[in-house]
């Protein structure tokens, strides 16, 4: 039995036709052992690659809204998923009443803001003029107060006290004079010969004068005592307080008046910014109203909810829940894709092992999963060889009736097709060379290789039919 198997294996190596399909090599465990020698022969050789893919639009327009100032986008009405549209058709209707009211309020507030700004400008202008003058006035008042305090403290207070004391002295002196005069008159009239009437008149007058002087002295003592104890100390304290207040007022003016001016400058700048922001926001809301109020189809085509990635409308279910009356859209969110009327393309993921046999320009056949009897002619336009994202894009050459973006399909590619080709098992090829038996001797030959199906490789140059290729 083992002998028969060996013969069968050797016979297979001599079969002149090599027709391989990568899709049928399901398991390496069932593969025959690698040969140690091989006799070349020319035979048909084909590599067929079959890939899973999906239809994708060649031209699509993703619809999203990017409001600048108005985030509330509430749905009133929306077209249905899969509905055909013409350019200019309204895709969705959004609620705009609140936005319109906000614009109206902003327009009414603008004149008041402008007036407040003008008032601040006027106040700032007045402060810029008055502040230096006010500071100078407080400086002058301080200087006057300094002079007055220095005079009163050094001279005025002492002079006032002296004057008060002199007033008491003069009152005392007047009293003494009146008393002395009255007493002298009494003595004189007691010894003279004047009539009693004349004596009475003179003495009465002297007595009155003495009594007035006495009362004046009493009052002067009371007044002077009050002035010395209360009035003059109060005047001293008052003058000192006035001097200190002038000092404080000037110091306060030097600090606070410039601050008040600066504060007014800040208030004006804030008013400028607020007015500019309000004006900008008003303009933005007006632009937002245009955006929200006019979501129309940019081209003729078909609308689909969400975004299509890898053949799936990944956000269509979530978007469908938002595109109902009362639903809310998010800014920058693609909620509708308009697929422009025209040809589709097929995008397929490529396993790394099949990448080498796929190149741009190769013709292919596409079979939709929804219609297996339909065969579409195609051509590979682009092969993406980025690691981790191997894929290809294929253009469809004929019409695609009833085929929609996102539908799945099979892509069949004849990557290599030779009527006669010399092939060699891959294990016998090393560094673009092979070992060949010639007259019982191993000779190394340089070769040029072509396509490979993973087991054997086409030899383009360097070998002919009937040559025996062996391991090293």
Bridge partners, residue 449, by sequence: 459
pTM metric for this prediction = 0.59
The three state secondary structure string of the chain is CHHHHHHHHHHHHCCCCEEEEHHHCCCHHHCCCCCCEEECCEEEEEEEEEEEEEEEECCEEEECCCCCCCCCCEEEEECCCCCEECCCCECEEECCHHHHHHHHHHHHHHHHHHHHHHHHHHHHHHHHHHHHHHHHHHHHHHHHHHHHHHHHHHHHHHHHHHHHHHHHHHHHHHHHHHHHHHHHHHHHHHHCCCCHHHHHHHHHHHHHHHHHHHHHHHHHHHHHHHHHHHHHHHHHHHHHHHHHHHHHHHHHHHHHHHHHHHHHHHHHHHHHHHHHHHHHHHHHHHHHHHHHHCCECCCCEEEEECCEECCEECCHHHHHHHCCCCCECCCCCCCEEEEECCCEEEEEECCHHHHHHCCCCCEEEEEECCCCCCCEEEEEEEEECCCCCCEEEEEECCCCCCCCCCCEEEEEEEEEEEEEEEEEEHHHCCCCEEEEEECCEEEEEECEEEEECCCEEEEEECCCCCCEEECC
pLDDT confidence band for 209 (50 / 70 / 90): confident
pLDDT confidence band for 16 (50 / 70 / 90): very low
pLDDT confidence band for 389 (50 / 70 / 90): confident
pLDDT beyond 60 at 26: no
- pLDDT tens for 331-374 read 999 999 999 888 889 999 898 888 888 889 889 999 999 999 99
Q: Give the mean pLDDT of 313-329.
A: 92
Tokens 């020319």 correspond to what residue? 42
Strands 18-21 and 344-349 come out as unpaired
pLDDT beyond 60 at 31: no
The predicted pLDDT at position 332 comes to 92
The predicted pLDDT at position 5 comes to 34
pLDDT beyond 50 at 6: no
Q: Give the mean pLDDT of 187-192.
A: 71
Domains of the chain and CATH, by start: 99-290 (1.10.287)
The predicted pLDDT at position 331 comes to 92
Q: Give the mean pLDDT of 40-48.
A: 92
Q: Give the mean pLDDT of 390-418.
A: 87
Is-contact 181 202, C-beta < 8 A?
Answer: no
Show the tokens assigned to 442. Answer: 């191993």
Nearest by Cα to 456 from 49, 32, 50, 20: 20
Q: Give the mean pLDDT of 93-104.
A: 94
The predicted pLDDT at position 197 comes to 66
Which has the higher per-residue pLDDT, 318 or 210? 318
């Amino acid at each position: 039995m083992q002998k028969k198997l060996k013969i069968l294996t050797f016979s297979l190596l001599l079969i002149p036709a090599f027709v391989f399909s990568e899709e049928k090599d399901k398991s390496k465990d069932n593969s025959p052992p690698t040969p140690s020698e091989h006799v070349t022969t020319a035979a048909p050789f084909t590599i067929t690659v079959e890939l899973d893919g999906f239809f994708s639009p060649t031209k699509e327009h993703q619809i999203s809204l990017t409001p600048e100032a108005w985030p509330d986008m509430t749905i009133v009405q929306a077209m249905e998923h899969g509905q055909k549209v013409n350019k200019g058709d309204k895709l969705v209707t959004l609620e705009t009443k609140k936005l319109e009211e906000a614009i109206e309020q902003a327009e009414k507030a603008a004149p008041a803001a402008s007036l407040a700004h003008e008032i601040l400008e006027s106040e700032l202008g007045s402060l810029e003029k008055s502040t230096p003058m006010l500071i100078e006035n407080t400086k002058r008042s301080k200087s006057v107060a300094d002079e007055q305090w220095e005079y009163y403290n050094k001279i005025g207070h002492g002079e006032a006290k002296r004057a008060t004391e002199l007033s008491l002295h003069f009152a005392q002196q007047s009293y003494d004079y009146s008393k002395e005069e009255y007493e002298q008159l009494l003595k004189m009239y007691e010894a003279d010969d004047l009539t009693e009437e004349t004596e009475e008149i003179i003495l009465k007058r002297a007595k009155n004068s003495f009594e007035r002087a006495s009362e004046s002295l009493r009052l002067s003592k009371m007044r002077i005592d009050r002035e010395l104890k209360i009035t003059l100390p109060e005047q001293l304290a008052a003058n000192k307080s006035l001097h200190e207040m002038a000092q404080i007022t000037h110091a306060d003016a030097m600090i606070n008046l410039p601050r008040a001016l600066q504060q007014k400058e800040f208030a004006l700048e804030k008013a400028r910014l607020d007015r500019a922001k309000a004006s900008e926001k008003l303009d933005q809301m007006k632009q937002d109203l245009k955006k929200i109020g006019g979501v129309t189809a940019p081209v003729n085509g078909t609308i689909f909810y969400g975004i299509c990635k890898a053949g799936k409308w990944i956000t269509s279910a979530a978007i469908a829940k938002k595109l109902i009356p009362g639903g809310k859209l998010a800014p920058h969110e693609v909620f509708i894709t308009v697929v422009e009327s025209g040809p589709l393309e097929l995008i397929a993921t490529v396993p790394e092992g099949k990448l080498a046999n796929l190149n741009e320009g190769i013709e292919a056949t596409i079979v939709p999963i929804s219609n297996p009897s339909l065969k579409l002619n195609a051509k590979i336009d682009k092969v993406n060889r980025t690691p981790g994202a191997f894929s290809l894009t294929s253009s469809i050459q004929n019409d695609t009736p009833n085929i929609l973006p996102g539908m799945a399909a099979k892509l069949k590619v004849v990557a290599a097709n030779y009527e006669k080709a010399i092939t060699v098992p891959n294990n016998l090829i090393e560094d673009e060379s092979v070992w060949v038996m010639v007259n019982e001797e191993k000779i190394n030959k340089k070769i040029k290789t072509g396509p490979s199906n993973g087991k054997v490789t086409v030899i383009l140059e360097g070998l002919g039919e009937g040559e025996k290729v062996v391991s090293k």
